[in-house]
């Protein structure tokens, strides 16, 4: 334990409290279920799969049930591994848990063939290289294992 | 429907960190103050409901210790939500509607300063396809902000104006954390924190707690000279995936506002929990506020954002202005989830 | 994730969470921990009913009042009010299996300290008088682990009436 080094209104507190750092860590093994299993198995094979919704649109990643109607979805569609950036945020100071040690963008990316974008990351040298509407493509890891971090996006 | 009113409200100062007090030590004076205000203690209430988050505290079942501040012996009827205290208030309101309670103590609290809040919030996201990328809360909000900017729904200047307004209002709030006079140009000259958001576009990180006493019908009048009657309260949720939502419009606030009856009469005061300036603009629009509504006289979330208490405090700030006669009708907003995913709207009225 | 080979579908996601926190003990626990670093066991008294809480979290959980700064220094002797015989090992318990997990009512306290007892299962019983066995003084820190365990002392058992309210 080490003494706290932040000060506070002396009217509120009489005694400096002790502090201790603690890292809360745990691993969950989550069952994917049939729909996500198919999606992530597709990623392992370097393919992007989505599901067609009752209105004809294609959602990527796939959902078990349609977000609007609640209907269960079962019409699989393979979409491109290239698409368009719909929006982005620039991370100039990455945190340890985040995918890169250097600055990068989180983005909403809509793959060709999908009708909805999803959140992922774009690896570019700087903010000036990001623009909504730019085309990106997946850059796959050397070894894909069937997780969302099997790839990142780079300019197409 | 039974008539239910807010009859008391108290809060701790919103501080960047409370290093010397734990959650119970922060809560006890808040609850004591409420007791002094109303003459009713938590243990006297028919029902107690609290809002907090174990992930902010870094401990499972952390909320249980909060009951030390209430005194749960003899045993009390109590419940908890892993949500802002505004949702605990909703549960308490429902409990009173069922006739199972006449009075309810509601409180919310957190110490966000203990962890890395923007990263902790990544745990709210889809655990399979989003969370493993650990997008922090500001980056997520930035995706929505850029969508709004590029769609021409607002400008950086509009966003900065919200921060200027709220922090100027906060000068009159002894409990606010960020207060003072900024100009729009000063804010626009800030470098981006997470492009497209500047630090001033974001609510601060805050530790704090607040509490409200609810009472039904005649009991309300016994406790408070001018109760703030809850005329409408509703909460609506959108899907978690940003990709299937319209990020330029808060459909859930629109629906909740309609069901709560916001538009049925003039709104004197609105208090919003939006933690980003662009979100404040979206909520104001979705509530359908007229130009003569005073928005965030307390400073709102941009002046002080103790999670789990901030929404409850918006209800309390509206109620306070009704107690004093400064307002006759008010709307309070609370939010949860990424990019205004889930929203609660509460309409309060004095007689 | 697990899969038996390239042909079998991906069926599990291993999601690792790692979050760092800087906890504050708060005022009362900090006072308690600083005292235990000096070998003192401090309780606090509820102003409403006079019960002595040990350890103290700074407020009475029954009456919701803060204790203030007044403290009660307690002996490190006490009574076993109940116990379990544990046959599952734990990395931080310095005793061989089976060990005794015991609720100890320290003399002067009205609340229980949960700790471990260095005794054989056929020796432990309710009402048994015990005393703390501390680590060497040079190893004391701001932690209840300064007390390694409790051991029986040569005193007659406490009368059941004296601790029955604390089981």
Per the prediction, chain B carries an average pLDDT of 96
Consecutive 10-residue averages of pLDDT for chain C (167 residues): 68 92 86 93 94 88 86 96 94 89 96 94 96 97 94 96 90
Provide the b/e sequence for A8-27 (b: ≥16 CB within 10 Å). Answer: beeeebeebbbbeeeeeeee
Q: What's B93's domain CATH number?
A: 3.40.47.10
Partner-chain contact B17 A88, CB within 8 Å: no
Total domains in the fold of chain B: 2
| Pick among 2.60.40, 3.90.1070, 2.40.10, 2.40.50: CATH of C76-167 | 2.40.50
Partner-chain contact C58 B18, CB within 8 Å: no
Domain identity same for B268 and B151 = yes
How large a percentage of chain B has pLDDT more than 70? 100
**Is B19 a residue whose pLDDT tops 90?**
no
Q: pLDDT by residue (tens digit) across B180-194? A: 999 999 999 999 999
Nearest C-alpha in C relative to A12: C27
Pairing outcome for strands C129-134 and C52-53 = unpaired
Task: Establish if A3 belongs to a structural domain.
Answer: no
Beta bridge partners of B343: B236, B335
Q: pLDDT by residue (tens digit) across A138-153? A: 999 999 999 999 999 9
Q: Measured between CB atoms, which of B21, B134, B244 is closest to A59? A: B244
Q: Please state the domain extents for chain C.
A: 25-74, 76-167
**Is B174 a residue whose pLDDT tops 70?**
yes
CA distance C80 to chain B (A): 25
Cα B160 versus chain centre, distance: 21
Beta bridge partners of B344: B235, B334
What is the per-residue pLDDT for B60?
Answer: 81
With beta carbons less than 8 A apart as the criterion, state whether A98 and B137 touch. Answer: no
Within chain B, strands assigned E span 4-11, 47-51, 78-81, 103-111, 192-194, 197-198, 207-216, 228-237, 269-271, 294-295, 329-336, 342-349
Domain identity same for B51 and B26 = yes
Task: Establish if B124 belongs to a structural domain.
Answer: no
Partner-chain contact B25 C21, CB within 8 Å: no
What is the per-residue pLDDT for A16?
Answer: 77
Regions in chain A scoring below 50 on pLDDT: 1-13
CA distance B207 to chain A (A): 12
ipTM: 0.94
Task: Establish if A9 belongs to a structural domain.
Answer: no
**Is B266 a residue whose pLDDT tops 60?**
yes
What is the per-residue pLDDT for A11?
Answer: 39
What is the per-residue pLDDT for B93?
Answer: 98
Q: Is C152 on the interface with B (CB under 8 A)?
A: no
What is the per-residue pLDDT for C2?
Answer: 53
In B, which residues are within 8 Å of C27 by CB distance?
20-21, 25
What is the per-residue pLDDT for A82?
Answer: 98
Domain identity same for B53 and B100 = yes
Domain identity same for B156 and B273 = yes
Task: Establish if B122 belongs to a structural domain.
Answer: no
In A, which residues are within 8 Å of B143 by CB distance?
87-89, 106-108, 119
**Is B4 a residue whose pLDDT tops 80?**
yes
Task: Establish if A5 belongs to a structural domain.
Answer: no
Among B44-53, B96-105, C16-25, which is the least confidently predicted range? C16-25
What is the per-residue pLDDT for C64?
Answer: 86
Domain identity same for B181 and B299 = yes
Task: Establish if B123 belongs to a structural domain.
Answer: no
Which residues constitute the domain of residue B22? 4-116+205-228
Q: Which residues contact A56 (CB under 8 A, 6 or more apart)?
A: none
Q: Is B24 on the interface with C (CB under 8 A)?
A: yes
Task: Establish if A106 belongs to a structural domain.
Answer: yes
Domain identity same for B288 and B144 = yes
**Is B82 a residue whose pLDDT tops 60?**
yes
Domain identity same for B246 and B271 = yes
pLDDT, average across residues B217-246? 96
Which residues constitute the domain of residue A109? 30-155
Identify which has the larger pLDDT, B221 or B43. Answer: B221
């Amino acid at each position: 334990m080490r003494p706290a080094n932040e000060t506070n209104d002396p009217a509120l507190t009489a005694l400096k409290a002790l502090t201790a750092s603690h890292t809360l860590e745990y691993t969950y093994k989550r069952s994917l279920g049939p729909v996500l299993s198919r999606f992530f198995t597709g990623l392992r094979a370097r393919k992007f799969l989505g599901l067609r919704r009752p209105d004809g649109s294609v959602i990527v990643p796939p959902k078990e049930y349609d977000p609007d109607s609640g209907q269960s979805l079962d019409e699989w569609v393979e979409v491109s591994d290239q698409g368009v950036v719909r929006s982005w945020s620039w991370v100039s100071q990455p945190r340890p848990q985040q995918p890169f040690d250097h600055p990068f963008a989180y983005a909403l990316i809509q793959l060709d063939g999908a009708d909805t974008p999803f959140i992922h990351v774009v690896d570019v040298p700087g903010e000036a290289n990001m623009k909504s509407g730019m085309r990106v493509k997946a850059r796959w890891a050397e070894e894909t294992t069937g997780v969302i971090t099997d790839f990142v996006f780079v300019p197409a | 429907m039974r008539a239910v009113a807010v009859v008391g409200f108290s809060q701790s100062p919103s501080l960047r960190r409370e290093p010397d007090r734990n959650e119970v030590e922060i809560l006890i004076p808040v609850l004591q103050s409420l007791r002094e205000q109303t003459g009713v203690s938590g243990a006297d209430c028919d029902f107690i409901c609290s809002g907090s988050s174990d992930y902010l505290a870094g401990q499972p079942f952390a909320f249980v210790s909060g009951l030390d501040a209430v005194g749960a012996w003899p045993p009390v009827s109590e419940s908890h939500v892993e949500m802002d205290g505004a949702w605990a208030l909703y549960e308490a309101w429902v409990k009173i509607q069922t006739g199972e309670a006449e009075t309810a103590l509601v409180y919310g609290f957190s110490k966000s300063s203990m962890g890395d809040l923007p990263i902790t919030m990544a745990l709210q996201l889809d655990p399979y396809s989003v969370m493993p990328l650990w997008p922090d809360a500001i980056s997520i909000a930035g995706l929505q902000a850029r969508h709004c900017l590029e769609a021409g729904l607002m400008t950086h200047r509009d966003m900065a104006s919200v921060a200027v307004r709220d922090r100027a209002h906060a000068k009159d709030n002894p409990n606010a954390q960020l207060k003072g006079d900024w100009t729009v140009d000063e804010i626009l000259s800030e470098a981006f924190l997470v492009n497209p958001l500047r630090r001033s576009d974001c609510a601060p990180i805050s530790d704090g707690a607040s509490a409200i006493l609810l009472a039904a019908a005649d009991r309300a009048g016994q406790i408070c000279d001018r109760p703030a009657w809850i005329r409408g309260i509703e909460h609506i949720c959108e899907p978690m995936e940003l990709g299937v939502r319209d990020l330029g419009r808060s459909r859930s606030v629109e629906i909740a506002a309609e069901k709560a009856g916001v538009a049925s009469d003039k709104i004197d005061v609105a208090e919003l929990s939006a933690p980003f300036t662009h979100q404040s603009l979206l909520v104001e629009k979705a509530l359908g506020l007229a130009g003569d509504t005073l928005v965030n006289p307390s400073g709102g979330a941009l002046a002080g954002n103790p999670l789990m208490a901030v929404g409850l405090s918006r209800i309390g700030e509206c109620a306070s202005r009704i107690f004093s006669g400064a307002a006759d009708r008010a709307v309070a907003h609370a939010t949860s989830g990424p990019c205004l995913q889930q929203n609660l709207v509460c309409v309060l009225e004095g007689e | 994730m697990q899969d038996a080979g390239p042909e079998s579908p991906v069926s599990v996601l291993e999601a690792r969470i790692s979050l760092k926190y800087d906890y504050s003990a708060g005022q009362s626990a900090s006072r308690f921990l600083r005292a235990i670093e000096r070998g003192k066991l401090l309780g606090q008294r509820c102003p409403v009913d006079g019960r002595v809480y040990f350890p103290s979290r700074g407020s009475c959980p029954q009456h919701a009042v803060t204790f203030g700064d007044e403290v009660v220094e307690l002996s490190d002797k006490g009574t076993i009010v109940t116990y379990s015989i544990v046959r599952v090992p734990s990395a931080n318990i310095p005793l061989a299996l089976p060990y005794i997990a015991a609720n100890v009512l320290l003399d002067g306290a009205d609340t229980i300290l949960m700790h471990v007892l260095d005794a054989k299962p056929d020796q432990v019983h309710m009402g048994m008088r015990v005393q703390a066995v501390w680590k060497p003084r040079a190893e004391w820190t701001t932690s209840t682990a300064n007390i390694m365990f409790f051991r029986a002392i040569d005193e007659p058992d406490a009368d059941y009436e004296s601790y029955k309210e604390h089981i």
